[in-house]
Amino acid sequence: MLDWLSRFNICCFLDNHLYNLPGHSQECLAAAGSISCTLNRDEYLKNAGKFIGLQNDWIFGHLGYDLKNETEELVSAHIDHVGFPDAFFFVPEYVLMLNGSSISIGSLRDDHESVYEAILGYVRIPAKKNSFTIRQRVGREEYISSIEKLKAHILRGDCYEINFCMEYYAEDALIDPVATFRDLSGISPNPFSAFYRLGEKYVLCASPERYLKKTGQQILSQPIKGTAPRDIINESHDHLLKEQLYASAKDRSENVMVVDLVRNDLSKVCTDGSVKVDELFGIYAFPQVHQMISTVSGTLRNGVGFEEIIRASFPMGSMTGAPKKKVMELIERYEKSRRGIFSGAIGYISPEKDFDFNVVIRSILYNASDQYLSFLAGSGITFYSDPEKEYGECQWKASAIKKVLGNE
């Protein structure tokens, strides 16, 4: 499926890697080609809302972090080297749904059988690759200095917690996006993985996090805050690491702050008293790390549409901090790269206007025409953060992607 659809100029491939989490009804959901799409211009979210409201079909696409400028009247001054638009949605020519041993093919033409045969027989020609060096946009000393300054902001009461990221990048990089996504999925198979292409721009995503899911009038968010490395060789030590994460006062503090932020966001669009915490401090094991995940849900008010839901809750609190607008101002001030689609969301909207979107983390961003490759890693900063440990967390979060790219 991936080989076949990756030849389309616009495509999206969503893979849950058999995690069988709530809300995943298909193993893979994919879209190929575009018959209609949003225009790249100002007021991205407003135009996306209008576009989505006019469709009665499947819609796929993304929300970029810099929609904050539209929703919160902020600015982004850093250069965006990858170049995804702040939002983009499209109605696909083909929709593919894989579930167990069955595949469903949606097509505007009466060519379902020929598409199935084409998928089975398609042979992809590998793209050219070269060797390149991954560099950091921010050095160790500058990173530690920034963390100390952010802690000073917290001490003054400017904010309580802030998600701070740094960019790893390579220029003159030639990769095979499909093969690289496969390698990334092999090392980090996660439940919200995505291969996403818009022309010569690619996202190769191995995300473990759900931003927002809508089913009927029910809305669900599952923020992640709290990470610990895994020891897949020593089972008893791995269990100890999991227990230490669950008991960590710092990680619990980060997590509950984000949960409160998500509760507040959802309350803007949900009926009074319906927003609740279904699970607090859940610890889940992934191939590289243990994660602390909480689940917040609510019942939407009648008449609330996609644009209003996104305005109330985006960007997701796990990728900003609290209070949201202030920390996004600090992120712009202290980070050295424009996030773009990173810490945004990729997903789909069904014909019934249900939707499911991930959080774009653990992802390789690639502009094939400019041969620019980028990925970001970060952590949640509180007053109790140890700058050296936060720097180390960024390094081992980045290690899986470096390994995929041959830059161990």
Provide the token pair at 313: 């809750």
Rounded to an integer, what distance in angstroms lies between the CA atom of residue 165 and that of residue 170? Answer: 17
Q: Which residues contact 117 (CB under 8 A, 6 or more apart)?
A: none
Rounded to an integer, what distance in angstroms lies between the CA atom of residue 369 and that of residue 263? Answer: 41
Angle at 48 between CA 45 and CA 50, to 5 degrees: 115
Contact 359, 170 (CB under 8 A): no
For residue 300, the 8-state DSSP code is B
Task: Detail the DSSP E strand segments found in 92-200.
Answer: 94-99, 102-107, 135-136, 161-170, 192-198
Q: Which residues are catalytic?
A: 209, 225
Grouping H, G, I as helix, E, B as strand and the rest as coil, residue 127 is coil
Cα distances from 239 to residues 208, 349, 389, in angstroms, run: 20, 38, 21
Rounded to an integer, what distance in angstroms lies between the CA atom of residue 60 and that of residue 94? Answer: 11
Give the residue among 264, 355, 343, 367 at the shortest CA–CA distance from 307.
355
